[in-house]
Structure 1
Amino acid sequence: MSGAPASAAGGSPGAKGATGAPGASGAPGASGASGASGASGASGGPGASGGPGAAGAPDGAKTPRGGKLGAAAVNQASLWNIANILTMIRLVLVPGFVVLMLADGGYDPAMRAWAWAAFAVAMITDIFDGHLARTYNLVTDFGKIADPIADKAIMGAALICLSGLGDLPWWVTIVILGRELGVTLLRFVVIRYGVIPASRGGKLKTLAQGTAVGMYILPLTGLLASLRFWVMGVAIILTVVTGLDYVRQAVVLRRRGIAERRAAAAEAER
């Protein structure tokens, strides 16, 4: 302020907050008013902490960057976000896949090729919707329920159709679907103690299952027809091994959760 016209005279009216001016200690412009330390933009004044321009104030408040990002995430996580739309597409593809798979008795090569295309799109969307939901915080209650249903529906429809047409033994369908339903039920049983995360083996299992079932959907012959048998064998092994691993994780999680609850109860009684 030194050298500015407003501070040239000690009692100049324009020098709010200067020594001896109306903003001096005890004067109307004193601390907390429009003068010295309470001047406009200073602590306690308009634009200061607690004032209209301060954080949490109604007018011109500066929201922290994290708050803006959090609000944006909440707005994005609506029902009609991209992750949920992909899940809905997968659900719609299930009846379409079944119609294509069973058209003309299930042995029309062209219809089987279209059925494979529908199955492939469903499997691809399964990869992307979960990734998008986790990356961009688009997780919703609808997605939590619909995503696993869509996953099981498309795989179950493919397996049942293949077994019904005689292309795949029923015991393979029973093993795969039994494992999938069992793991889903297991997750709900231990949800009170925690969440069983998806493992790398589980992801490999999903890839192997999708590849094997896709090869059985296509009307392959020769070497590729023989190769799909071995790919399905790998998928079955991964299905069983990862299923047993989920059981192990569920037991460990339940024991740990019970121990923590007992320790918390004992601590509360002290």
Structure 2
Amino acid sequence: MTGVPASAAGGSSSARRTGPRGASGAAQEPAGRTTSGGAVERDAGERRGATEGGAGARGGKIAAAAVNQASVWNVANLLTMLRLLLVPAFVALMLGNGGYDPAWRSFAWAAFAIAMITDLFDGHLARTYNLVTDFGKIADPIADKAIMGAALICLSALGDLPWWVTAVILGRELGITVLRFVVIRYGVIPASRGGKLKTLIQGIAVGMYVLALTGPLATLRFWVMAAAVVLTVATGLDYVKQAIVLRRRGIAERRAALKETEV
């Protein structure tokens, strides 16, 4: 007979049942099983890591939001709040006992001086120690203009300062504030050295008028206020010039960007 040897048949059947063997004769697992299992485990680990990472990121954002909310009560903002509270106190002291009592005027000058000093420190602290907040951005300029406006209006109401001086200074401050908002979409007008000098001279001049000065000091305060008015007008015109240049530059950049997108 021409049949197949039993040993050969058995070998073939065994090979089919057990699969390929290695050099040691032990049966090997299919290559795909181990690789696939490892990949599944790695994928599961990556998914767990991603989930934990996402939770950590969300936790970090929540913590950051909490820090930002708490930062509203920082020292810079507290100084700004103090300056706002000093405005009604200053008016009450300035107009106390008819508005011409030297003692009451001295107390009013002290309140005004504290407000001016805190104005020098709160912005510096906010920028130096990263304490800038949305509240500070809004409240700080309001506090500055409130104390200065209150002093000028009180002085003019008492007849110590011509109304046109008050109108020029307050009109300039209000106009520049509006101008900043108008051109803010094109950029920010930075505070100039002239503007800072103007604020300093204004504070000194108004402080001298708040005090009941006589003689040479009364004459000196007139010239200090004149310098403040000149700086007020000059810096105001400079800000208008900067705003015009900033607006033209912004419009030109937008037109150039539109041309690039069309091409």
- 1:172-194: CA deviation from partner (whole Å, max 9, x where unpaired): 00000000000000000000000
Name the CA distance, whole Å, in 2 between partners of 1:167 and 1:77: 44
TM-score where L is the length of structure 2: 0.76
Structure 1 residue 78 displacement after superposition: 2.0
CA contact (8 A) 1:77 1:137 kept: no
The match for 2:115 among 122, 127, 131 is 122
| Residues 1:258 and 2:251 are matched in the alignment | yes
Distance 1:132 1:213, change over 3 A: same
Does structure 1 residue 139 correspond to structure 2 residue 145? no
Residue of structure 1 in register with 2:168 after alignment: 175
Per-residue CA deviation, residues 106-141 of structure 1 (Å, 9 max, x unaligned), is: 011111000000000101111111111111221111
Give the aligned partner of residue 87 of structure 1. 80
Note the alpha carbon deviations across 1:213-264, whole angstroms, 9 max, x for none.
0000001111111100110011011000000000000000000000111111
CA drift at 1:81: 1.0
After TM superposition, the structure 1 = structure 2 runs for residues 217-256 of structure 1, keeping only pairs within 5 Å, are: 217-256=210-249
Q: Which runs of 5+ in 1 are unaligned?
A: 1-25, 27-32, 34-43, 45-50, 60-66
Which residue of 91, 103, 108 corresponds with 1:98? 91
After TM superposition, give the deviation of residue 143 of structure 1 in Å.
1.1
Distance in 1 separating the partners of 2:135 and 2:173: 20
Say which of 196, 205, 215 aligns to 1:203.
196
* Alignment CA distance shift 1:152-1:57 (3 Å): closer
Paired letter, 2:89:
G
Please state whether the residue corresponding to 1:78 is helix, strand or coil: helix
> What amino acid maps onto 2:104 in structure 1?
M
Q: Which residue of 2 aligns with 1:23?
A: none
Match of 2:149 in 1: 156
**Higher RCO structure, 1 or 2 (CA under 8 Å, sep 6+):** 2
Structure 2 CA distance for partners of 1:57 and 1:149, relative to 1, 3 Å = closer
More helix by share: 2
Alpha-carbon contact 1:152-1:180 (below 8 Å) kept: yes
Shift in alpha-carbon separation, 1:221–1:245, aligned structure 2, 3 A? same
Q: Identity over the aligned pairs, expressed in percent?
A: 80
**Unaligned regions of 5+ residues in structure 2, if any?**
1-30, 32-37, 43-47
The letter of the residue matching 1:183 is: I
Distance 2:248 2:225 in 1: 35
Task: Give the TM-score normalised by the residue count of structure 1.
Answer: 0.74
Coordinate RMSD, CA, aligned: 3.2
Structure 2 SS opposite 1:121: helix
Larger Rg: 2
- Please list every run of at least 4 consecutive aligned residues from structure 1 whose deviation after the TM superposition is greater than 4 angstroms: 56-59, 71-77
